[in-house]
Amino acid sequence: MGSLSSKAELEAALARRFGASVRFREKPTPQMVSSGLLEVDAIAGGLPRGGLTEIVGPTSSGRTSLMLSALAAATAREEICALVDTHGAFSPASGQAAGIALSRLLWVRCGGNANHALKALDLLLQGGGFGLVVFDIGDIPPRDARKIPLASWFRFRRVIENTPTVMLAVEQEANARSCASLVLEMERARAEWSGRLLRGARMEINQHEDTKTQRHKGKPASLRVFVFSSFCPG
């Protein structure tokens, strides 16, 4: 068949040889729900149901605030949510102040045991019925988070695929790679006084690249959004 450089060329070549019996299936566009932050929804379209979204960034970058906003938005939609809290970082008082309906939240504390957290996450996703499931490993050292096998991320993605569940992974670095459908990268801000109010975060949207986002000292806070059009094969 020679060299084919695009999906369109491959489809045309297969059609010429085998006719209409061979066709590529188009993946349906996932339903998006609000993250609880209008700015994030404006540039990312919200959070995809049936998909994995990673919220990554260092301490004090805003990743927890975004997680709380997503939980508040989901419980406001009267959805049942689950939070797998690996290191016990969640504060119910702060969550309630952020608007989370605690009566609709299952809080799983894992005492710093990452293996227990992974098993709990697997059971919750397999059980189904949750509108939002959060996997918070933001306090795990990046070297340990990287030890989570790609096969585990693939399994989590496959379990929630074609379901209404939104999965959020809160981390210091992105680890799910192409198993994630959306990556929200947070950067720590330097406070700047403008006379009356603190300046808000600058938000950008970029297509996914293999190069890591560069962080420069003194740079205004930013949120980078990477949208993946493909998933792990399977």
Q: Which domain, by its residues, includes 136?
A: 49-189+198-206+221-227
130: in domain: yes
* pTM (two decimals): 0.74
Asked, for residue 17, whether it belongs to a domain, the answer is no
Counts for the chain of helices (H) and strands (E), in that order: 7, 10
CB atoms within 10 A of CB 19: 9
H or E segment at 127?
helix 114-127
Total tally of structural domains belonging to the chain: 1
Residue 185 within any structural domain of the chain: yes
pLDDT of residue 225: 60
Please report the pLDDT score of residue 11 as a whole number: 67
Asked if 218 and 172 touch (Cβ cutoff 8 Å), the reply is no
Would 97 be classed as within a structural domain?
Answer: yes
Radius of gyration of the chain from its Cα atoms, rounded to whole angstroms: 19
Residue 10 lies in a domain: no
Q: Would residue 88 count as lying in a domain?
A: yes
- Looking at the DSSP bridge assignments, the partners of residue 81 are 105, 132
The CATH number that applies at residue 103 is 3.40.50.300
Domain presence at residue 166:
yes
Q: Does residue 222 sit in helix, strand or coil?
A: strand
Confirm whether 136 is domain-assigned. yes
Strand, coil or helix: 108: strand
The pLDDT of residue 221 is 41
Note down pLDDT in tens along the chain; length 234 residues: 445 556 667 667 767 777 666 565 666 678 999 999 998 999 899 999 999 999 999 988 889 999 999 999 999 999 999 999 999 999 999 999 999 999 999 999 999 999 999 999 999 999 999 999 999 999 999 999 999 999 999 999 999 999 999 999 999 999 998 899 999 998 876 655 555 444 443 333 333 333 333 333 333 345 666 554 333 333
